[in-house]
Amino acid sequence: MWTARELMFFLNERGCRPYWVGGCVRDKYLGREPDDYDITVAAKPEEVASLLQTAGLSPELGAVRYGTVSVGTSDGMIEITTHRKDGTYTDARHPQEVEFTDDVREDLGRRDFTVNAMALDADGNLVDPYGGLRDLESRVLRCVGNPVTRFTEDALRMLRAARFAAKLGFDWDPALRSGIESCRNLCASLSDTRVGSELSGLLLSDRPAYGMTLLRDSGLSAVLFPGYEPPADLSGLDRLPRDLALRMCYLVWERDTATVYNVLRRMHLPKNLFDDVLLMTTAEVLLLPLDGPSIRRALRTYGSLLPGILRVREAYGEKNETIRNIAEMDLETGVCVSFAGLAVSGDDLIEAGIPAGRAIGITLSYLLDEVLEEPDFNSKDILLEKALTFCRREGYIE
């Protein structure tokens, strides 16, 4: 499989006049490893696809209407897009039509931020008509052209502004901030999928508290999540591991269930993540006593989510580290906290002479309580002896 660089040289040799563009150029000048690679070319998409096919590659033509051909490389999927100028935007998200052009500068003029509007040719020559390199050095996020125009064209750019600021640690240019405050209501029409993708990226950045502060102070969060206000103190986000469930949990901690549900739905989280965060934020876990049985009983209810619940509480200032360490150790060593972990089953109890039916369930619950109190009881011989003693006392057997 070709590398991204080999693909670049191939397109250059075939006269496509390719440029690295966007985030990979920005990351190069920041000394970061690019997340992905994008290429812009003078050639039309049909020409690019034909060239790739003659080289034995399998291009994907799903976005060819917008001039984009995608191809897999050892550096990931790469989009190769013909230089273009965007037409009128009617849905605050997509241009109605595009016009292809031979001028890479015209292509850069349609992009969102100056730091993303730089291009680098195959020989390493930089094209930077909007001062992106200067803004990288100043650590400022600035729009290409008029911010109101950029945000009216595509409302998602406002969320991207918060995500990039959190990712890069850049300040918002005053004009960009003013443009967001003028256009923020357009974000109400963004799809849950797009909102979730951008905000998940923000929350998984190195500076989630900074990004969420920008969303809150600019009024964007109020538009995206009506009736919800982020915590006044967002600093705890940065103290949590880079885990989306934990950081989402922090944002909706101690909110009513309806509010939590609405925020999670707008974030378009996968169902398993949605369910975990909902359970964690509605958990009635008090500051546990510092003893094994209490912690194991909490593990019985919340399982592997318990350490995360305690971490969120720590981020809010509670002193749970010792309890969390015990819970994590119990999970790691496989201490029994559920029926599945018991050394006996219902069939074992029936075989020992305990009648099938209600008595089996009650006896298993009793045995689990015993094991939660003392894990060393979890052996078949000990549990069978305890089960028989319990059932005689309760009158299930003679």
pLDDT of residue 290: 65
Report which DSSP code applies to 186.
G
CB distance 246 to 312 below 8 Å:
yes
Tokens for 273? Answer: 């993540």
List the one residue out of 256, 303, 300 whose CA is nearest residue 278. Answer: 256
Cα angle, residue 325 at apex, residues 321 and 331 outer, rounded to 5°: 145
Q: What is the pTM of this model?
A: 0.83
Which residues does 18 contact at the CB level (< 8 Å), separation at least 6?
A: 8, 11, 12, 39, 40, 41, 80, 121, 122
Each residue's pLDDT tens digit, 133-189: 999 999 999 999 999 999 999 999 999 999 999 999 999 999 999 999 999 999 999
Helix (H, G, I), strand (E, B) or coil at 76: strand
* Cα–Cα distance for residue pair 132/112, rounded to 1 Å: 11
**Structure-token match 């020992």, residue found:** 352
Residues in the chain: 398
* Cα–Cα distance for residue pair 344/105, rounded to 1 Å: 73
Each residue's pLDDT tens digit, 277-314: 998 988 766 556 667 788 888 888 888 888 888 899 89
Main-chain phi, psi angles of 19, to 5 degrees: -135, 135
